[in-house]
Amino acid sequence: MKFQREAVPEWPHQVKALPGCERIFSCIQCGTCSGTCPLSIYMDFTPRRIMSLLREGFRNEALSSETIWLCASCYACTAHCPQDIHITDVMYSLKREAIKNNLYPKRFPIPVLAREFYAIVKSRGRNWETLLVLRMALRSNPFILLGMVKSGWHLLRTGRLGFSGEKIRNPKELQREITIPKEAV
Amino acid sequence: MPELVQISSPVEEGPFEPRIVAFFCNWCTYLAADLAGTSRLKYAPNIRVIRVMCSGRVDPQFILDALAKGADGVLIGGCHPGDCHYQEGNYKAYRRVVVLKRMLHDWGIEEDRFRLEWISAAEGDKVRTVVNDMVEKVRALGPLKLGVPQEEFAEEMA
Amino acid sequence: MSNSNGTVRIGVYICHCGSNIGAVVNCPAVAEYAAGLPHVAVSRDYKYMCSDPGQELIIQDIREHKLDRVVVASCSPLLHEHTFREALAHAGLNSFFLQMVNIREHDSWVHSDHAAATAKAQDLVRAAVRRVVLHKPLERRQVDIDASVLVVGGGIAGIHAALTLANAGKKVYLVEREPSIGGHMAKFDKTFPTMDCAACILTPKMTQVRSHKNITLWTLSEVSQVSGYVGNYEVKVKRWPRYILEDACIGCQECIEACVFKQGKTEDEFNEKLSKRKPIYIPFPQAVPQMVLIDPDNCIQFKSGRCKKTCVEACGERKAIRFDQQEAIETIKVGAIILATGFKTFDAKRIPDYGYGVYPNVYTSLEVERLVNASGPTAGEIVLRDGSTPKAVGIIHCVGSRDERTNRHCSRVCCMYSLKLAHLIKEHTGAEVFNFYIDMRTPGKGFEEFYQQLLNEGVHMVRGRVAEVADWALDPSEEGKLVLRVEDTLAGFARRIPVDMVVLSVGLEPQEDADEVRRLFNISCSPGGFFLERHPKLAPVSTFTDGIFLAGCCQGPKDIPDTVAQAGAAAAEALALIDAGHVEMEPNTAHVIEEECSGCKTCLPMCPYSAITFKEEEHHAWINEVLCKGCGTCVAACPSGSIVQNLFEDEEIYEEIKGVLNYA
Amino acid sequence: MSTTKPTQKSYLYFPGCSLRATGKAYEESMLELFQRLEVPLEELDDWNCCGATSYMAIDEDSAFMLSARNLSLAHQAGGGRDLLAPCAACYLVLRKTQDYAQKYPSIGREVADSLKTAHLPAMNSVKVRHPLEMLYNDVGVEKLRGKVARHWHGGHIACYYGCQTVRPYSEVDKAYNPTRMDELLRAVGIPTVDYSLKTKCCGGSLTGTIHDVGIRLNYVLLKEAVRKGAQAIVTICPLCQFNLDTYQSEISKQTKEHFDIPVFYLTQLLGWAVGGDVDKLGLQRGVSGRKAIKDWMMSHEGVESYV
């Protein structure tokens, strides 16, 4: 049983104000998103149910759902939604809010991946997949590495595992660029 | 009573509120404005609609007179080309507008202050967007300043 | 300035319209403000001006306060101008001494800032007060009405409207584009929810049309030109050749037998291209007129000129076949026109996810209507393209409805006809039938009961919009099937459902040429593209062009009961109009002040109705007020300002301009 | 300013991080192909990460600014040249950035400010292009057909377009039933099968994060390709290629079904067909279907270089 006091009525309106989320209230709950989503069968809430939670203001439930992390941003739902709701962009917004509020399910390393990726790019200007995989594995579940040994070996053999990561000339300047405006704004 | 007079002309004090005089044709744009109403679309209250049977009825003098007598902008709304209830009144309106635009330009009146829009009876939403857009543009321009005192301009125009 | 001796006395009335206006506009304040305006003798605000007591109020004031002008600030003049004009007339005042102010649609409903809305109302009222002072007494001109009616479109709507009028003794012209009347209804097998056979209830009406002495039926015909005005429309109708002499053909169809084509080679339009027909054919067994026609694109005689003409032999003495028949134009005069041009079904190819045109066993609902129809291509057997009977069938609702990318509207009939097809398919094949719906809409009489019946027949109802119809299999049970991927939104998980046949419940759309037709008859369209009614509630079959009425799906999606009801209503409206014998024209025509006319002839080319002529001897222009439709374009063009449009005189409009701007 | 020859349009090239690691073969084969087609290509100097999917998940604004920097550099590089982005993620993010900056003034302003602080010019209207769409529109099916130098005696191919390259900020091909890869391959004599999963998602980075789910998605894609009679798959996205290629042995173990088919980049097949140097097409980097690759493409030349 859900009590109305558990809902955050203003939340959907805050989300609606975000870029790409304008049409969330137009959802007619037809389920096309869930039907077209290759991952919905692995989700605890189908995308359609997330839209419903969102609209009804059940913030906690939506943000702590596994769904938003299972979303691989393939944009199938967005392309097929009869109400032209940009569901993928909504999922992004929820991911960001979840990370900000530390609400994501701990057993999912995606936020870790995202953060590691963020860190690497911030310091180097470019991603370094090898480093990313290692750091992510170490921070989430080192055993992933074992599972990866075989493919890792393949990659090594075929020269697809870069050991000298790439950099841009002046990462500092890039950091300034991507941090200053947010202070300015 | 006096405080009523105040409301009746909000432009006197406070921040600048543009005054737009609109001429809507009876068959398309006036209906569209009605539709906007029945659909409860909200738009800027700065517009005053004068109903004419056809945009072709709008005499260029009306527009100049409105500008001379204190309007900050004038909007004409007619049926889409080919949709005129009187077959081609909107074309006639268009031709006059082209000429008038040049005149206004010579008078130093910004072109955003005068607009001709085709709005069909189905386009209630377009009424909202057009009015809001025009009000914002005119607001940005500020009150209409004529090269000559309004009275004189009025003389010229009359 | 005053029309009569002495000064003008104006009564101003501000309507609250319940809370519609009153909740936003401060009506008492506006009334109080108006009271202070020049010439205003009485100024009141009242809950409902359009109510009897409201009108009575005006009538009383006119008498007691000797008012000779009235301003009513309420809803759009298009709604109640007539009402208040009547009130003035009732009080013995010329009804054109009225000016209305639209403070509902143009004010209280579109603004939320109360102060600004009230200020706007005051500006508009001020303008009206200043304008009405200049109003002149005017008389409506009466013109006679031609007592005949044109009905465009021979579907069930047009048929019912035509018969209703004809039975009332009126002359009716029924124009149909196809070779037979009957429209979409003639293609259906059963009709929901009663399941009575469409043909059984439709064909009697079709034959009545054919035999009715008051109805002239023109099939293979199209309206090509409309001129004139209410009560006096002149219409040109283009009639394509049938290549058959209508009076000579007795519909024996021996010519079809005799045709050099031993069997059909051309896709049969009536059977949704599920069968083939010959170049000489009859659209369907119950066609009206019961008469063959030749399709020149496929007839050898037309293509090569070297056919044995076995059809002509078969026809023999009757000599009904005429290869030399030409296109003809008929010109008729009618007092009213009823548009019953119907709809077209959504083209399922526009939604690639459903594989229509890619997978042969994906059908549209209309195709299945033909399949289940006893007189259809399979004689009522529901079989797949390979002749086998489906064991599992999926019916997808809302195809081309409730979809931002195609049509936003709900097509209203799909839920019910999908249930009907589900029932028929189950009955004919015993297959497992799955209905995939977004919302089940069964609001009509007996509809919900029918839905209950279907539920109990064991038809699957899955609430979810199918995401895709595809041929990829994840396990042996899906091999060679069409797999529907859908979220079962009530169960809360995604499902894969393999079926043999998919039925796409396509929505209803405006006809391909709705836009040209709209222009031809000078009416408007609603946002969805269907024809626009004069008022959604109070004038649902009228248009903004007097004398032109709407019936059936051309105005919006409808089921058969609603269509027939609306057709009857349209007929009644047309009847009321022409039975009056004459119609009163609005007096807003233009006239030339001869002594002021400089004779420059600028106005002549302005008039699209050539109502303006130039009197050489007197050297001035002259306007024929019977032809003038009152657009005022010539007035705006006249350099010497010597043309005047009643109700829209220059001075009146100048006063209105000064009024809204509060210019001294 | 650049030296654009009126005869052959030249392009700027944005490799993106993947093409420098797991996607090396994509870059190698593309460069080789374009050289054969005489399409001038210049790498965007000092390009940075596009902002990509996972970055967006943390901080969209920064992601936009990362893209903006690249777009601005491209504008700076001059010549009004189009920017070629072979990686699906890069392509999408770069285009999304332009779309949002234009659709949402606030984002537009932020991006502009960030560029100012970095003393970079406004990003203006650099057109972001994808090799598939560029090959189809600018080079053209006919020119490719004319350039064919090798006769294909390999198997049928399933064209896998992936998700982000065709949706939703894309001009690469029709979002619902893309066909351009098929058309290009058929033009150079390589047969393709009708593959209804051509735009279904491969799970992207899920294979690394929620491994079992990612694996499952790729299993479905491989199974259907084989079922439709394909003996290889061709992709235009480094992540798709990586997932489909590297996990086949693992999938085989899990499902007891044997998968060992090559997963090519479009540029590898086209490059081979127009006579590209087999050593320069990164063919040896393929993990699965190595025997097929050898038999089909290396039996004549460069066999020795193949470990």
Q: What is the 3-state secondary structure (H, E, C) of C233-263?
A: EEEEEEECCCCECCCCCCCCCHHHHHCCCCC
d(CA D188, CA D270): 7
B 134-153 residues inside an 8 A Cβ radius of C: none
Chain C residues with beta carbon closer than 8 angstroms to that of B30: 78
- Pairing state between β C508-510 and C343-345: antiparallel
Angstrom distances, CA of residue C573 to CA of C6, C77, C149, C518: 44, 21, 11, 20
CB contact under 8 A, C353 and A80: yes
Q: Kind of pairing, strands C276-277 and C266-267?
A: antiparallel
User: What mean pLDDT comes out for the span D133-140?
Assistant: 94
**C587 vs B contacts (CB less than 8 Å):** none
**pLDDT bracket for residue A140 (50, 70, 90):** low
Residues in B touching C122 (Cβ below 8 Å):
4, 7-8
- C10-140 has which fold? Rossmann fold (3.40.50)
pLDDT at A151: 65
- Residue type for C252, please? C
Q: Is the pLDDT of residue A152 over 70?
A: no
State the pLDDT at residue A101.
Answer: 87
Provide the greatest CA pair distance for chain D.
59
Q: Where are the domains of chain B?
A: 20-157
With CB atoms and an 8 Å threshold, state whether D196 touches C471: yes
- Per-domain residue ranges of chain C: 10-140, 141-240+327-342+511-581, 254-318, 345-509, 589-645
* Dihedral sign, Cα of residue D105, residue D111, residue D115, residue D121: negative
Residues of B with Cβ-Cβ distance to C227 under 8 angstroms: none
User: For residues D202 and D217, is the Cβ–Cβ distance under 8 A?
Assistant: yes
> Average pLDDT for residues D110-114, to the nearest whole number?
86
For residue B109, pLDDT over 80 is answered with: yes
Residues 345-404 of C with CB under 8 A from A: 353, 398, 402-404
Sort out which chain D residues have CB atoms less than 8 A from C471's CB and list them. 196
Closest CB to C353 among D176, D197, D227: D176
| CA-based nearest distance C179→chain A, Å | 38
Degrees, nearest 5: CA angle C480-C486-C488: 125
The interface residues of chain B toward chain C in range 48-67, judged by CB-CB distance below 8 A, are 48-54, 56-62, 65-66
Residue of C nearest to A52 (CA): C489
The string over D14-38, giving b where at least 16 C-beta atoms fall within 10 Å of a residue's C-beta and e elsewhere, is bbbbbbbbbbbbbbbbbbbbbbbbe
Q: Indicate if the alpha-carbon torsion angle D22, A129, D173, A79 is positive or negative.
A: positive
d(CA D109, CA A182): 11
SS3 C54: helix
Q: Which residues 149-178 of D have a C-beta within 8 angstroms of A?
A: 163-164, 167-168, 175-176
Higher-pLDDT residue of C658 and D173 is C658
Residue B128: how many CB atoms within 10 A of its CB?
Answer: 19
* DSSP state string for C301-321: HHHTS----HHHHHHGGG--B
- C99-152 tens-digit pLDDT: 999 999 999 999 999 999 999 999 999 999 999 999 999 999 899 999 999 999
What ipTM goes with this model? 0.81
Residues of chain A neighbouring C402 (CB-CB closer than 8 A): 28, 30, 82
Please, which pLDDT band fits residue A180 given cuts at 50, 70 and 90? very low
Residue-wise burial string across A119-143, b where 16 or more C-beta atoms lie within 10 A, e elsewhere: ebbbebbbbbbbbbbbbbbeebeee
Instruction: Give the 3-state DSSP-derived string for C73-86, with helices as H, strands as E and coil as C.
Output: EECCHHHHHHHHHH
What value does the mean pLDDT of chain D take? Answer: 87
What's chain A's average pLDDT? 81
pLDDT: is B103 or C425 the higher one?
Answer: C425
Q: What is the pLDDT of residue D305?
A: 40
Binned at pLDDT 50, 70 and 90, residue A135 comes out as low
**Second-level CATH architecture of C141-240+327-342+511-581:** 3-Layer(bba) Sandwich (3.50)
In CATH terms, are C141-240+327-342+511-581 and C345-509 the same topology? yes
Instruction: Test D196 with C472 for CB contact under 8 angstroms.
Output: yes
Q: Residue A35 is nearest to which of C402, C404, C494, comparing CB atoms?
A: C494
C-alpha–C-alpha distance, residues C203 and A139, integer Å: 78
Close Cβ partners of C439 (under 8 Å, ≥ 6 residues apart): A28
C608 interface with A at CB cutoff 8 Å: no
Which residues in chain D have their CB less than 8 angstroms from residue A76's CB?
163, 167, 199-201
The identity of residue C566, as a single letter, is Q
Contact C105, B37 (CB under 8 A): yes
Whole-number Cα distances in Å, A129 to A112, A152, C216, C586:
14, 12, 81, 79
> How large is the average pLDDT for residues A130-151?
62
Instruction: Return the structure tokens found at C438.
Output: 């977004």
Residue D119 zone, left/alpha/beta (φ > 0; ψ -120 to 50; rest):
left
Show residues of chain A in contact with C485, CB under 8 Å.
Answer: 35-36
The alpha-carbon radius of gyration of chain C (Å, integer) is 31
Ramachandran quadrant class, C558 (left: phi over 0; alpha: psi -120 to 50; beta: rest):
beta
Buried b / exposed e across C120-141, counting CB within 10 Å, b at 16+? bbbbbbbbbbbbbbbbeebeee
Q: What is the least distance, in Å, from the CA of C349 to any CA of chain A?
A: 15
Flag if C352 and D177 touch (Cβ within 8 Å). Answer: yes
Which chains sit next to D, with 3 or more Cβ pairs under 8 A? A, C
Among C43-52, C418-427, D106-115, D220-229, name the one with the lowest average pLDDT.
Answer: D106-115
- Touching check for A80 and chain C: CB below 8 Å? yes
pLDDT band, residue A179 (cuts 50/70/90): low
pLDDT of the residue at C467: 96
Least confident of A100-109, B79-88, D230-239: A100-109
Question: Going by beta carbons, is chain C in contact with chain A, meaning 3 or more pairs sit under 8 Å apart?
Answer: yes
Q: What's the pLDDT score for residue B151?
A: 62
Contact between D262 and D232 (Cβ < 8 Å):
yes
pLDDT of B2 strictly over 60: no
Distance from CA of A153 to the nearest CA of D (A): 10
Residue A116 has pLDDT above 80, yes or no: no
Q: Please list the ranges in chain C whose pLDDT falls under 50.
A: 1-5
What stretch of H or E contains C518? helix C514-520
Higher pLDDT, residue B49 or D210: B49
Look at residue A137 in the predicted model and tell me its pLDDT: 62
> D41-43 and D83-84: which strand pairing?
unpaired
- Does D223 reach chain C within 8 Å, measured CB to CB? yes
- Print the SS3 string covering chain A: CCCHHHCCCCHHHHHHCCCCCCCHHHCCCCCHHHHHCCCHHHCCCCHHHHHHHHHHCCHHHHHCCCHHHHCCCCCHHHHHCCCCCCHHHHHHHHHHHHHHCCCCCCCCCHHHHHHHHHHHHHHHCCCCHHHHHHHHHHHCCCHHHHHHHHHHHHHHHCCCCCCCCCCCCCHHHHHHHHHHHHHHC
- Residue D3's pLDDT band (cuts 50, 70, 90): very low
| Fold of the C345-509 domain | FAD/NAD(P)-binding domain (3.50.50)
Query: Does domain C589-645 bear CATH number 3.30.70.20?
Result: yes
CB under 8 A, 24+ apart: contacts of A97-102: A97/A63, A98/A63, A98/A64, A98/A68, A99/D57, A99/D58, A101/A63
Q: Which fold has domain B20-157?
A: Rossmann fold (3.40.50)
Tell me if the domain spanning D44-129 has CATH number 1.20.1050.140. yes
- Contacts of residue A179 in chain D, CB cutoff 8 Å? 62
pLDDT-derived band at A167, boundaries 50, 70, 90: confident
Residue C90 exposed, middle or buried by CB count within 10 Å (0-12, 13-18, 19+): middle
Cis peptide before C285 (omega within 30 of 0): no
Determine the average pLDDT of the residues in B73-79. 96
Predicted local distance difference test score (pLDDT) of residue C202: 96
- Under CATH, which number does the domain D149-302 receive? 3.40.50.11810
Q: Residue ranges per domain, chain A?
A: 4-100, 110-178
Architecture, CATH, for domain A4-100: Orthogonal Bundle (1.10)
- Which pLDDT score is estimated for C6? 60
